[in-house]
Chain A
């Protein structure tokens, strides 16, 4: 018997706006209008300012550990813009602040979260984003389950779930991909391949040439895009989201980007990566190339940039004011969201948290007289 090919796969790489700000007009057709690009660029400037502000707050001891989003704005904003606000659900990791913000999650909530306040993970009515997710690679299963519910109820909604390159080494990632594929649920898996999982580089994380090819094992449409290219990210995500919405099942997107900052403010990336590498990626900064493009097209100038920077600065100050201005949490709050209705034991603990040995009222143990 001749040996035949049982399976063949390929992964395409999509770039529309190169790092010099030159656009491939034919690929860009039908993607973003000029107005969209100006709006989204302004958004990116705002997000960068807010992100830098969070970093400064941490250094000033006004915020706890914070993971900077710097350098990944095009990936978050391009994908977030492709989903319908209030309809589609975003299931994040913790480096997609811009996407959450765009979908209505107040940015000062994100600050509150990193300032150690659970109220930062509250979701306002009508906003369709899940809380930030710390255990790596676990949230894709939730996105798959939610998307499954949409399919069961025949609702035209889609989930986009975000995760990093390191997360694709986790078992839950593969279980989510398999479930999503087996049940053909409307879920888009969006990998922000930022090259580093804390100190382990992508090449050491896996021997796969691309992250995107992992989706081939699940027969999922997959593509690799320049993650610092707003056009490519938007186009790939929009295609995946709309295909999923119309019953086409899940899809995978690998956005090739770079973590320009440390893993978190508790990390010092100089210990494990070359300054040259970082410098090279600084040149591919999504903000720089978009500004070049807009300027060349006559849609942007220094005055507009100055105005945008000023708005960004004001916005960041407002975010800080709102986050720091919130009334401190009430200590008994910690008891009130364990279950819908508080249990008798928790009620006792709440009532005695500052007065007696835990769970005991003196009279209960016959100690009142002593």
Chain B
């Protein structure tokens, strides 16, 4: 939606940035439609689609039945028939019913038909913990989808990236799962260009340059790591990498950094075992073995169910845990 005075003065939140991207892309491309539970009149439970229905009408910003598989499956049909659907699954914990459609159909149609039919759609999903939400509103299932051939998995951490990555995702010829870290939906404001711009999928961002150790992370944990950066010893030069897209993974960015630093700490919210950090660690082992000066470390959620909110802060990696891992790795 057009910018408010507050946005012009103080910048945009991540929610504002996604809303602006949707608004601009729907204006530019009549094939783009948003559909999901409560995305229309109500503007989405997080207000990400606020105001869009008023501008583009109920036929392009569609309140669907409460039906995740229905949303995903019909979005696939819309995409195959030449539209550019942007379905929303209200919370990542509700992707279960839509899993079959996403994994067995959206991801596979191009290959199944040897390119005859394709599914250019962007599935928007509020993702991750830290907002005092009920059960199944706080999970981090990104590794499952990164493990699915045919899907791209994007996780922005800032308003600037969110806008540029979402525009790329919608214009991408293949299905993209776009996880939105709800913990930072409104926690930061940033001045970002009003004109449209894109950020290529599959490209990591070096948030801070350093020479002694690389921290690799994504999503809301980028902010946790940034916070930890303030506590490192002054002579420690730490490089912080925000992957932004985990599938396809920007392997070269990781390799380039770890070859330089020889040390790496991986930080993510999802459980440890078979989490996406394991893939990052393996890539480092495969590609940077002779450069390593310490074992790769992981700071992650635990291999437990995401606790309800009274304990969620104990589960989520915090700056203190990141700091300890970095200090241990540096001292190795």
Contacts and interface: CB of A to CB of B under 8 A. Distances in A.
A binds B: yes
Interface of A: 89, 118-119, 121-123, 130-131, 135, 138, 140-150, 152-153, 171-172, 175-176, 178-179, 182, 333, 337-340, 343-346, 359-360, 364-366
Contacts of A366: 289-290
Given A142-B76, A175-B73, A364-B287, A152 B83 contact: yes
A13 to B, nearest CB: 30
B73 A172 contact: yes
Contacts of A176: 70, 73-74
B64 A179 contact: yes
Interface of B: 33, 59, 64-65, 67, 69-70, 72-83, 85, 97, 100-101, 104-105, 109-118, 149-150, 152, 173-174, 202, 248-249, 251-252, 286-287, 289-290
B285 to A, nearest CB: 9
Question: Quick one: which of A140, A145, A344 has the most chain B CB within 10 A?
Answer: A145
Given A138-B101, A152-B59, A130 B80 contact: yes
Contact of B67 (A175, A343, A345, A346): A175
A138 B287 contact: no
B77 A138 contact: no
Given A152-B33, A182-B64, A340-B174, 13 more contacts: A141-B74, A142-B73, A142-B105, A149-B78, A171-B97, A175-B70, A176-B73, A179-B74, A337-B111, A339-B150, A344-B252, A345-B251, A364-B287
24 contacts: A89-B81, A118-B112, A119-B114, A121-B114, A121-B116, A130-B117, A131-B112, A131-B117, A135-B100, A138-B73, A141-B73, A142-B80, A145-B78, A145-B81, A148-B78, A149-B82, A150-B81, A337-B111, A338-B110, A339-B152, A339-B174, A343-B248, A345-B249, A360-B286
B113 A131 contact: yes
A220 B331 CA distance: 70
A142 B110 CA distance: 14
A142 B149 contact: no
A13 B114 CA distance: 41
Contacts of A142: 73-74, 76-77, 80, 105
B150 A365 contact: no
Contact of A338 (B77, B101, B150): B150
A172 to B, nearest CB: 5
Given A138-B101, A146-B77, A150-B81, A344 B33 contact: no
Nearest to B110: A337
A242 to B, nearest CB: 20
A323 to B, nearest CB: 15
A345 B72 CA distance: 28
Contacts of A171: 69, 97
Contacts of A360: 286-287
A246 to B, nearest CB: 19
A121 B202 CA distance: 29
A182 B66 CA distance: 12
Contact of B173 (A89, A175, A340): A340
B251 A344 contact: yes
A190 B85 CA distance: 26
Given A145-B81, A171-B97, A338-B111, A135 B104 contact: yes
B66 to A, nearest CB: 10
A155 B277 CA distance: 47
Contacts of A123: 113, 116-117
B110 A122 contact: no
A178 B67 contact: yes
Nearest to A333: B114
B18 to A, nearest CB: 23
A171 B73 CA distance: 12
A223 B73 CA distance: 25
A359 B285 CA distance: 12
Contacts of B81: 89, 145-146, 148-150
Contacts of B113: 118, 121-123, 130-131
Contacts of A152: 33, 59, 83
Contacts of B105: 135, 138, 142
Nearest to A161: B77
Contacts of A135: 100, 104-105
A135 B73 CA distance: 13
A323 B59 CA distance: 44
B77 A364 contact: no
Given A141-B69, A152-B33, A340 B286 contact: no
Top 5 closest pairs, chain A to chain B, by CB: A145-B77, A141-B73, A175-B70, A149-B81, A145-B74
Contacts of A346: 248
A344 B251 CA distance: 9
A148 B65 CA distance: 14
A359 B74 CA distance: 36
Q: Which of A149, A176, A344 has the most CB of B within 10 A?
A: A149
B65 A337 contact: no
Between A89, A147, A172, the greatest number of chain B beta carbons within 10 A of the residue's beta carbon is seen for A172
Nearest to A177: B70
Contacts of A343: 202, 248
A176 B65 CA distance: 10
A182 B37 CA distance: 14
Given A122-B116, A138-B101, A148 B74 contact: yes
Given A121-B113, A176-B73, A365 B286 contact: yes
Given A344-B252, A365-B286, A141 B70 contact: yes
Contacts of A365: 286-287, 289
A138 B100 contact: yes
A11 B118 CA distance: 38
Contacts of B110: 337-340
A172 B82 contact: no
Contacts of A339: 110, 150, 152, 173-174
B73 A145 contact: yes
B160 to A, nearest CB: 24
A249 B119 CA distance: 25
A179 B70 contact: yes
